Amino acid sequence: MHIADFGVMEVGIIAVLVGTVVLVAMVRYDLGPSSRLAMGRQWLLATALGTGIVAFAFKLLLIVAVVNAPEIMVEPLIAREPLPPSEHVVDPLQGIMDSQRFVWVALSGQADSASRQRDALPTYIWEALPEVAPTPSDNPTTPEKVALGEQLFFDKSLSRDGTLACASCHAVPGSGADGRPTSLGIDGQTGSRNAPTVWNAAFQSVLFWDGRAKSLEDQAKGPLVNPLEMGMPSHTEVERRVRQNPAYREAFAAAFGAVAKITIDRIAQAIAAYERTLITPDTPYDRFVRGDLDALGPAEVRGMGLFQSVGCVICHAGPNFSVASVFDPRAPIRVFPLYPTPYEARYGLTEDVGGAPAGSGRGSWRVPSLRNVAATGPWFHNGSVNDLTEAVRIMSSVQLGYTGRYRVWSERNRTFFELDRPKLSEQEIADLVAFLHALTSDRLRAPG
């Protein structure tokens, strides 16, 4: 009981006692004798007149109870309308709790972690990756087409000097990338951008770092004639190389029909059909979301909650952890880096602006998928960061703005408000990295 409430209670008790004494004395020594009432009737009269004092005492107790226990006395009586789903804010762990079983993970006792978990984004639905990639209507997947595409994917004769295949920069088996900052092309040339992984590329709505390709078929044609990559002089020369190989004639007939000609479009279709089989729905994260709540450990679950609450899901959303995916392809290209920080100069993040006009100062890039990200370093479009922990630290700063306090203009409310975004702690970063490791396919994990 609060001190102030105790004072009210004390005064009320005194008032009730005084009132009771006065009432008894009045009936016993005044009203009773003057009305010649027997003793029993005097007590009956005192009880009747004392109902007011009893009512006062009850009201006093009710007031004290309401003040000291509003969650019991008042809140159940308040009618509440449910918030619309877009405004319904929940604990970030709520979205990863099974309806029959709950996962509770301590936040290491850190005030900043607990605060970020409480200040979660609106409800986010976590989803596992589908078991099969989508297929375009004009290029249905068949076993024959996949077999042909795999043969083409590993064929070094499709490069000008016969030294490189698609698999040279997109290692399969392996991470689907080449592990280099920038890829190595023919004649020992190096490109300017990091090779994205081919794993789960089938779920991306646009391809290449700048998003210039709209399909796997479109993407497959590019490296063949890029002078820094496979260096073929033309797509016509690619067709000629394939036609002169007798083994391809039978494979193309099986994939496209006996009378189908070998064209660059069919070459690209076959490669794309094979790439659509390169998906990884077998990560610990996928098992967790599908119901195996032992698939993630405490650090990974903490990182999963932070991934939502600090805002990573703004860009890395959906089953493929990228808004540049077929699940919701409305805004596949984003500005990077968004906030100016010393990381720009340290890692050369703005030397190449991607799809943005020259001189923009800020790049425009396709949002990459984070699936298997722990296995596909070095990271970023220029491959300038070779430590995943540092990559997370950079992203929290340059993309999410966790560097301090901001004054933000709200056009909707026509006002400024203060936004407090302190740097993520090293424990929070470690938890996020642990979660990113949980996005790695079982087949790509290093032994042990």
Provide the annotated active-site residues: 229
Q: What is the pLDDT of residue 445?
A: 79
Give the pLDDT confidence of 381-401 residue by residue, as tens digits: 999 999 999 999 999 999 999
- DSSP character at residue 420: E
Q: What are phi and psi of 75, to 5 degrees?
A: -55, -40
The pLDDT assigned to 167 comes to 98
Residue 435's pLDDT band (boundaries 50, 70, 90)? very high
What was the pLDDT predicted at 412? Answer: 84
Higher-scoring residue by pLDDT: 269, 105:
269
**Span 420-440, average pLDDT:** 95
Mean pLDDT in the chain?
84
Instruction: Say if CB 200 and CB 372 are below 8 A apart.
Output: yes
Residues composing the chain: 448
How many CA atoms are closer than 13 Å to the CA of 137, on its beta-carbon side? 0
CA atoms within 13 A on the CB side of 133: 26
CA distance readout (Å), 69 to 3, 55, 80, 299: 15, 21, 19, 37
Cβ count within 10 A of residue 212 = 14
pLDDT tens by residue, 168-178: 999 999 999 99
This prediction's pTM: 0.75
The alpha carbons of the chain give a radius of gyration, in whole angstroms, of 35
Confidence of residue 407 (pLDDT cuts 50, 70, 90): confident
pLDDT digits (tens, 9 = 90+) for 107-134: 544 545 555 554 555 689 999 999 999 9
